[in-house]
């Protein structure tokens, strides 16, 4: 079975994309990259040099009939695939990355497997949450998915 990982780091210079997240990925792990970057060959070359096999949505155009699909759905496919990865590295303050993290929470994936590519915020999803009412759009909060079925009370110990 292949591991599928998700990455939305289009906001970073090429040389920082791998350096900021290399400890997240397992050796030679398959990476699925959700990005709006046009130059996928050059922009993600450091990942290839590190031994990762990379896949993008465009790699499945023929197989999935993407040319016959409403182009507005393509982002939703990226989100669905990205939300199921073993690990996820996204972009802080990205609503795209935020929704992927929220879906991961709905699926019961630990937020300790979600990261941000910016070093200052890299482990933010691993911290016990606190809503500071500043930039709340930039981060998903575990109280959005813990206990939503009334099976347990939201707790800072469970995320």
pLDDT digits (tens, 9 = 90+) for 43-83: 889 999 999 999 999 999 999 999 999 999 999 999 999 99
Task: Answer yes or no: is pLDDT of 1 > 50.
Answer: no
Domains of the chain: 6-144 (3.40.50)
User: Concatenated DSSP letters for 58-127?
Assistant: GGGHHHHTGGGS-GGGHHHHHHHHHTTSSSEEE-TT-HHHHHHHHHHHHTT--GGGEEESSGGGTTGGGS
| pTM for the whole structure | 0.84
In this predicted model, what pLDDT tens digit does every residue of 111-120 receive, in sequence order? 889 998 889 8
Query: Could you report the per-residue pLDDT of 110-158, keeping only the tens digit for each?
Result: 888 999 888 988 998 887 665 555 555 556 777 677 777 767 666 666 6
Measuring CA to CA, which residue among 132, 113, 155, 135 is closest to residue 26? 113
Q: What is the pLDDT of residue 2?
A: 44
């Amino acid at each position: 079975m292949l591991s599928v990982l998700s990455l939305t780091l289009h906001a970073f210079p090429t040389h920082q994309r791998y350096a900021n997240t290399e400890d997240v990925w397992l050796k030679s792990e398959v990476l699925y990259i959700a990005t709006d970057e046009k130059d996928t060959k050059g922009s993600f070359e450091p990942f290839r040099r590190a031994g990762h096999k990379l896949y993008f949505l465009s790699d499945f155009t023929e197989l999935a009939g993407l040319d016959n699909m409403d182009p507005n759905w393509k982002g939703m496919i990226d989100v669905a695939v990205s939300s199921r990865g073993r690990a996820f590295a996204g972009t802080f303050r990205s609503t795209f990355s935020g929704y992927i993290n929220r879906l991961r929470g709905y699926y019961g994936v630990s937020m300790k497997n979600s990261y941000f590519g910016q070093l200052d915020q890299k482990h933010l999803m691993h911290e016990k949450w606190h809503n500071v009412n500043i930039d709340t759009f930039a981060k998903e909060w575990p109280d959005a998915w813990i206990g939503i079925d009334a099976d347990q009370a939201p707790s800072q110990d469970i995320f």
